[in-house]
Structure 1
Amino acid sequence: MKKLLLFFTLIFVISVSAISSVTLILPDLNGQNGTQITVPVKVKDFQNIISTQGTIQFDPAIVSYVSVQQFGLSGMNSSSFGTTGVGTGKLTFSWYDGTLEGVSLSDSSVIFSITFNITGTNSQISLLTFENTPTIIEIVDNLFNTLTTILDNGSITVQNSTSIPDITLFLDSVSGTVGSHINISLRALDFVNINSIQGTIQFDPSVAVFSSVSYFGLPNMNSGNFGTTQVNSGKLTFTWFDSNLEGINMVNSSALFTITFTLTCNSTNTPLNIVNTPTLIEVTDSSFNILNTIITSGNINNQPLVISVQATSNVICNGDLSTLSATGATSYTWMPGSLSGSFVNVSPTTTTTYTVTGTANGCTSSSTVIVTVDQPPIANFTATDNGNGLISFTNTSQYATFYSWDFGDGNYDNTPNPTHIYSTNGTYNVVLSAINSCGVDVHTIIINVVTNINNTSINSNLEIFPNPSNGIFNLKYVTDSGNKISIKVINIAGELIFTKEYLKTTSSGIIQLDFTKFPNGIYQIELNNGNKVLKTSIIIDN
């Protein structure tokens, strides 16, 4: 019997010694009249707990109850609180774990928070205390032990107005090519002691399609902090808070999170904005102030697909090859010819404009290149006998850029349509070489030339020599009639180009005539010695 009594006594002692304690914590906070303040309720040593309840007392003359939120226990919601006594400064709470398995939280975790309006005046203090009425304070673990509760009470002190700090939120400006992926981060300046942040990012879904949130820069942030139900209409919402309500600091320009977009084929510039709908822009600090938020928008520059194209030879001869190449895409189609690939060989017979269409990431773009085709030269000409050894040549060659004439008498020319004076009768092989970058073509014709012109004796008393000449002629005369000789020169077009009278000082002599200023050709000369008008032809060939 004594042994059995000792056994039950040991079981009781062990059971009592196993019962631990839980600490409930209310903070000491400062706030301004006319503002709201959020008070977190935290715990310590909260292990395997299946229920907790109690009453929080505050001074309704200094603060007034607004709401409860930030529920940190599974199944806790607004119905877990009794608000019928808030007008007299009493808020009750009661929660239990429906699984009866027990909930464990890390130290300083928030089990819920309370928002108050501050109505008191400067320096007034509302104590925040845990009380046993009307709901007794009680915490039970999963062994159904009622645990010892340590109460760490707090307060709200009303202070004079102080300036609310600013925080700057800004979005990256990024350039990308249609069809590609880009990353854009939301960044912050003066991100100091921040408890929560929320808002909406607006973008143009015809330019950028939301893919994912690819980076999380804030503690415990994950995809669950983002609302994606409206991304098809260009709105992504975000909400985050520090579960410890102690405030988070970030280095200036740090990324709070990063969004990945896929750019569409709509190449344009589009802004990225932080807006108030559907989720209001709001940032709070560890003193539960709502901060002044400065917003700087970002930008997406969706650049078009640029196809670069070039030819190894932009000018080729008929029958030659040119290699065309394109860059800037992943696949290419060439027209005309329905060719494909980044390199193609072409051999057009005429000048051709080639269009290449490149495709990358489902987007297309085109570019062109011109291949100019030069034809090989074709030599041809005709000859016209103007009499007295003067031959005119008419060039009917095609595609040539340079000409070389061989008149067959040791004389040459490179003008397109030359005129040549043959000084002696004969048969001549006239050769025309038509030349361009693609080669040389030669055409030859045979001409028979009769000059009918030599040192001309007009009559026994007048003679012109040499004829043809380089433009210097000698007129020999023997006559007693008259005392002067009149000379006129008429060109092949019938125009009078020279007239002059020469005095005779003797009955015979030689007059030198200088016609070197006239171009090569056949001219008619008229001589008047006072008694007769005599005509003949002269040839200038210099």
Structure 2
Amino acid sequence: TGSSTDIDGTSSHTFTWEQYDLTTNTNPPSATSPDGPLVRSYRGTTDPTRYIPRLQDVLANPNSPSTTWEVLTLLTRSQNYRLTVRDNDVRGGQTAVDEMTVNVDNNGFRFRVTSQNTSGITWTQGNTETITWDRANTDQAPFNTSNVNILLSTDGGLTFGTVLAANTPNDGTHDIVVPSVSSANCRIMVEAVGNIFFNVNTEPISIGVAVTCNNYDSGTIDLAIADGLGTTSPQNGPPTVHVINVPDDVTIESISIEVNVTHTWVSDLLIQVTHPNGTNDVALWSGNCGNNDNINVIFEDGAGAIACASPTSGNYDPFEPLSEFNGLSSQGDWTILIADFFQGDTGILNSWSMEICSTTPLSVDEVALDNLSVYPNPNNGEFNVSFNPRSGDDIIIEVFDISGRSILSNTYNNTGRFDETITLNKASSGIYLLSISEGQQKVTKKIIVD
């Protein structure tokens, strides 16, 4: 990371980090190159911090973050970097540069976070959780990194703004108290103090919310994709359009879209999905992969760059981020559009589908129901619910597992004081969500089955 000063202020400054090892080099770079650059240049940004590889690539694959054009060396070698600061003041600005040398020692080990690396992790605010990492002898010479910081991201790794532990010993384990945040997409970073290495955990963590995901599938539709009109320059032919109706009205936390297309020379194609509001749209595919044939891809943010093949298959980043849809309602007609821009190749849209995820708070203030009591909790799958109803409406008791699947739904006549024993047959150990509804009042409580 770098910094700059300016008597006129720094709001117009941009920062560009580049590797400055001038030599004849092979392309793409190799992790076993003893010299030459391993890192590509990007346009400067207002952020003075540069992660290598880029943070989105690290998040996509923390245990093997190297990409085609940004590689972590496997050798003991030095690397030289230059930071250029540009003052983009419209009245006329200047530039300044500084250089640093990074000495890499390949000791045969890898610094990495070893906890929170399985899917479906949910934390409760205020609880104690243990973070572990493989220190890879970095507390010893020549690294001599005695301490680390443990950071939390609540936005999927875009920023790590919450400090869980500062300057804690680099001993491979530390207990933290879960902060009062609510997010379904948290990540952990352990970073060196006084050095530049770091790692993140591999899977999202949910804090204070439960995630429910629903799939909406076109089924087999086999719609023809008309040939493009372009010869030397792109000109689209008639677009292929299909609609999936989503009846559920939830606020989108995240979305992934699967597209299955049979088509030769897939770089002819644009694939775009439009939200029911008709305004927000995202290009999933835009001229990717040259003369390769066929697409069977799940597009999801943070999945990593497309690896072209025939067919191109797997989970990859869309051309534009699907986070464009986050925070919007899921309900209505979603439209996919596929257009071919060059002559000579046609194809078929075989099918497409969407997985839309939303969140539910793990707990809600019980003042909505008078004198509510849920006990015992934790329990063995049998517990009591009691409260004083405030209306004559029926009382609905529902229990969901942490993935949002309903495992119990009972309706009771409202005859006064509610006091019932609830039994979850064959419930396995874990966290469940208890929903209690009385008319317009609804409370969601977390229960734990031992």
Give the TM-score of the pair, scaled to structure 1.
0.24
- Give the structure with higher Rg (CA): 1
Give the TM-score of the pair, scaled to structure 2.
0.27
Answer 1 or 2: which has greater strand percent. 1
Bigger RCO of structures 1 and 2 (CA < 8 A, at least 6 apart): 2
